[in-house]
Structure 1
Amino acid sequence: MIIIEGQRCFLRVLMEADVTPFTNMVARNMRYWSVYEPLHPPEYYTEKVQLKKIQESIQQMRLNREYSFGIFDIQTKEMVGHISLYSIKRMPFSSAFVGYSMDESHTGRGIVTEALSLVVKFAFNDLCLHRLEAYVSPKNIASVRVLEKAKFNREGLLRSLLYINGKWEDHYLYSYLEDDY
């Protein structure tokens, strides 16, 4: 069990027991999140599918390829978001991608910025990675601010990177290097 504590939130690896609150959060934010990521078919928003995703992330963690955390409010212990390190590659890359989603009702409180900082610390101190990367839509101003507050650097624009809801969308590539940390 991995738990990483901050001042506003704590991160805990998702477990099978989290399936109900996680599924509820995913379903509750379906429209909010679909602005910057694909809208999924209805079955995606069921406990059956989300349980399978949690089980897969646990298996990937055992292989040291992914760490999928729930973001929990430090005071209420409520799950308010999700953040993961994924596509972990060892040498010669020693890198991973970071992705996160915040419950709409908890945005604007600095929680996801702190969660990202906690994941960066974990990636560099515990996993001994060299490079973290994140994609973000140029339209997602809030997420761009989160990355920049967490000291990620914009490296460029990746044209037509992701197919989202019927359209190819550009994304910025951000990185954070071990030397920057």
Structure 2
Amino acid sequence: MTTTGGVSLRPVTAEDLDLFETAFAGEDGTGPFQWFGFTASRLRRRHAEDGLLGPDGGMLSVLAGRDTVGRVEWFKSTWGRMDTSFCWTLGIGLVPGARGRGFGTQAQRQLARYLFEHTRVERVQAWTDVRNLAEQRALEKAGFTREGVLRGAQWRGGRWHDQVLFSILRGDEEKS
């Protein structure tokens, strides 16, 4: 894959899984907007089955130089029938020391480009907590457009949280 701003994406390795399991094991690692409690990780099993790259989504490691600093993932979402109206929803998790350095912006921009180049979708979307201003800025810098607020959309920490929805459409980069 291409490298932008010293950031690159590549398939997840077994060593990356070790980092993810350690770095994202608790709220200190995930951050307050991505902590959903302790759950069983199925990443190793999926990695053994398909390398975390499947027809309904996948995961890639985010590298800053030669260091793995996080992961980006995508999954199918729909705004109608799945066979005619699906899009990709992406997510990102960076280790605490990599946050606030522009890596997330570059990784999300690269993932959107990758998905447009290698799949037929028209839309890639992401959402984040209304209080997660850093991620909102990162998505906007990556070329995503803020679409609106999804009220009470995410259960986390014992209550429902509003989310801000962003999208980028095929060809948006050429328009700007």
Shorter chain as denominator, the TM-score bin is 0.7 to 0.9
C-alpha distance in structure 1 between counterparts of 2:125 and 2:89, whole Å = 5
> CA separation in 2, counterparts of 1:39 and 1:68?
19
Residue 45 (structure 2) aligned to one of 48, 52, 57: 52
SS at match of 1:171: strand
- Between the aligned residues of both structures, percent identity stands at 22
What is the aligned counterpart of 1:82 among 62, 71, 91? 71
Cα distance per residue 1:1-57 (max 9 Å; x no partner): xx4433311111223443212212223x6325241123322x64xxx6542354477
- Which range is displaced more, 88-97 or 164-173? 88-97
Alignment of 1:70 with 2:97, yes or no, is no
Q: Which moved more, 1:126-135 or 1:86-95?
A: 86-95
Residue identity in the other structure for 2:56 = R
Rounded to whole Å, the distance in 2 between the matches of 1:56 and 1:119 is 22
Q: Note the residue ranges of structure 2 that are not aligned, 5 or more in a row.
A: none
If the length of structure 1 is used for normalisation, what is the TM-score?
A: 0.82
1-side partners of 2:83 and 2:136: how far apart? 28
CA distance in 1, matches of 2:49, 2:154: 23
Equivalent in the alignment of 1:20: 18
- Does the aligned pair in 2 maintain the 1:57–1:68 contact within 8 Å? no
> What TM-score, normalized by structure 2, do the two folds share?
0.84
One-letter code aligned to 2:45: K
Aligned length: 170
Residue 148 of structure 1 and its aligned partner are, at CA, apart by 0.6
Structure 1: 5+ residue runs without aligned partners? none
Change (3 A) 1:144 1:56: farther
* Distance (whole Å) between structure 2 residues aligned to residue 37 and residue 136 of structure 1: 9
Cα distance per residue 1:99-135 (max 9 Å; x no partner)? 0011111112111111111101101112232101111
C-alpha distance in 1 between matches for 2:14 and 2:84:
33
The aligned counterpart of 1:11 is 9
Alignment of 1:36-51 (within 5 A): 36-41=33-38, 44=40, 49-51=42-44
* Structure 1 vs Structure 2 CA RMSD: 2.3
The aligned residue for residue 27 of structure 2 is 30
Q: Quote the residue 1:156 is aligned against.
A: 148
